[in-house]
Amino acid sequence: MAKNFKDLSEREILALAISLEEEDGRIYGDFADGLREDYPASAKLLEEMQAEESEHRASLIETYRRRFGEHIPLIRRNDVKGFVQRRPVWLVRPLGLNAVRKQAEIMELETRRFYERAVQRVSDASIRKLLGDLADAERRHSASAESLEEKLLTPAARTQEETAQRRLFALQIVQPGLAGLMDGSISTLAPLFAAAFATRNSLDAFLVGLAASLGAGISMGFAEALSDDGSLTGRGRPWIRGIVCGLMTAAGGLGHTLPFLIPSFKAAVSAAMVVVAAELGIISYIRHRYMDTPFLSAAFQVVVGGVLVFVTGIVIGSS
């Protein structure tokens, strides 16, 4: 079970820092390998950042051994609450230039915030100094990551890029909101349309849809709020993310539930289907706009899932 960052000991904080530096260094190496053929100058910059991460790791290991001995416990980012789940964009070939820049900036922001929080959690003077120095180094890395924009992006593409603050907005609001919208829009289709085709009564279907939407909103809201405190990643206050996720979950379900207020069953079903199609289109666009997912790929994933759940509800309700 993942631990809270505030519950980590100094020994565990240092072990986690070693693991983070190793992982970041390997990712920079993969980025450099993917860009070397077409963008050798940018690949060289990433290799330099990889070498610096290796030096940071060596310094951390030396400090750890001097303070705690030879054995370094295995503790990784997924063992601690508060880290954003990374998509393995470094494995994609060909590598997208924009994806490299964005991922590098987010990595450096997350690692810097980790060191800034870690300094507050340790009492040993030598460890505090090392962590503070590494936080400063990560700030310089952030500048290097931002310089990738000058090297890799055309002026036309640069004008369309999101700022770092915009990406934090995506982490704090868009991601939990999108998760809620997808869950509410898709998971409530089966019970709603099962009830509709089983009873052939608009009001009965509306009550089932209302209960499913509100219940899913409450459940998703609590799940998001309790997932992590956002202290390491800038994901924002957990209760704000929980509210956003819960409200969007309820909204996703209520969107295709409200048409069943229409007394005519056939008219209600037709209107609900139109709303479902609109919801799936909106979800696909948001994933494309903020999650860097190709629109056709996002639409295919969302539509296939939605259609399967939709058909499941109709089959069960008609049996």
CATH of the domain at 54: 1.20.1260.10
Same domain for 138 and 50, yes or no, is yes
More confident residue, 12 or 85: 12
More confident residue, 184 or 95: 184
Q: What is the pLDDT of residue 64?
A: 94
Range of the domain at 196: 164-318
Final residue of a structural domain among 113, 130, 158: 158
Encode pLDDT of 191-229 as tens digits: 999 998 899 899 999 999 999 999 988 988 888 777 766
Whole-number CA gyration radius for the chain:
24
Q: What is the pLDDT of residue 206?
A: 93
Q: How many domains does the chain have?
A: 2
Which of 8-17, 76-85, 141-150 is predicted least confidently? 141-150
Encode pLDDT of 249-291 as tens digits: 999 889 889 999 999 999 999 999 999 888 888 888 888 777 7
More confident residue, 318 or 58: 58
pLDDT at 87 over 80: no
pLDDT at 137 over 50: yes
Q: How confident is the model at residue 310 (pLDDT cuts 50, 70, 90)?
A: confident
Query: Is-contact 46 28, C-beta < 8 A?
Result: yes
Final residue of a structural domain among 141, 158, 175: 158
